[in-house]
């Protein structure tokens, strides 16, 4: 929720439930990349905006995954993994509104056929409904 901005929360979706409302919805599921992505697909997601702190070779076979970095070191280390570098906000190169509009344009371009790095590299994780290991 901390990353959702100022939009009002329009509802909560249970794991595997299909979204029936428009607007900001919260999926009440685990934070594990693989499980969360699978559950979001079940809810009807068609573009996944994924913030990554350490860099994750994560991708989904059924929708593009836009990877967003907020750390300069990560964006520089993996320029062929990160689709959107938001480091400029903290560094002072762009403000939050500029970054938001740039990310919005990238989402529209991706929804219109632009391929993400995960797609270009063929990174597709299996769909996972549960993890036998501890999940956060």
What pLDDT score does 36 carry? Answer: 80
What pLDDT score does 67 carry? Answer: 93
Q: Give per-residue burial for 85-101: e unless 16+ CB within 10 Å, then b.
A: bbbbbeeeebeeeebee
Rounded average pLDDT per 10-residue block, the chain, 136 residues: 78 86 83 79 87 81 91 87 88 88 96 94 78 59
Nearest 10 degrees: Cα torsion 116, 117, 119, 124: -120
What pLDDT score does 24 carry? Answer: 86
Tokens of 17: 């439930």
What pLDDT score does 65 carry? Answer: 93
- What secondary structure does DSSP assign to 80-102, as a single string? TT-SEE-HHHHHTSS-HHHHHHH
Q: Which helix (H) or strand (E) holds 10?
A: strand 9-13
What pLDDT score does 2 carry? Answer: 67
| Phi, psi values for residue 70, rounded to 5° | -115, 10
What pLDDT score does 109 carry? Answer: 97
């Amino acid at each position: 929720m901390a990353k959702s901005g100022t939009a009002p929360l329009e509802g909560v979706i249970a794991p595997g439930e299909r979204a029936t409302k428009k607007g900001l919805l919260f999926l009440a599921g685990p934070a594990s990349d693989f499980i969360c992505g699978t559950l979001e697909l079940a809810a009807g997601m068609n573009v996944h905006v994924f913030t990554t702190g350490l860099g994750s070779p994560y991708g989904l076979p059924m929708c593009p995954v836009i990877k967003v970095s907020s750390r300069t070191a990560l964006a520089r280390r993996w320029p062929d993994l990160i689709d959107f570098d938001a480091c400029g906000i903290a560094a002072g190169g762009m403000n939050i509104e500029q970054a938001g509009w740039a990310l919005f344009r990238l989402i529209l371009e991706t929804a219109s056929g632009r391929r993400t790095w995960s797609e270009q590299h063929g990174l597709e994780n299996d769909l996972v409904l549960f993890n036998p290991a501890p999940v956060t």
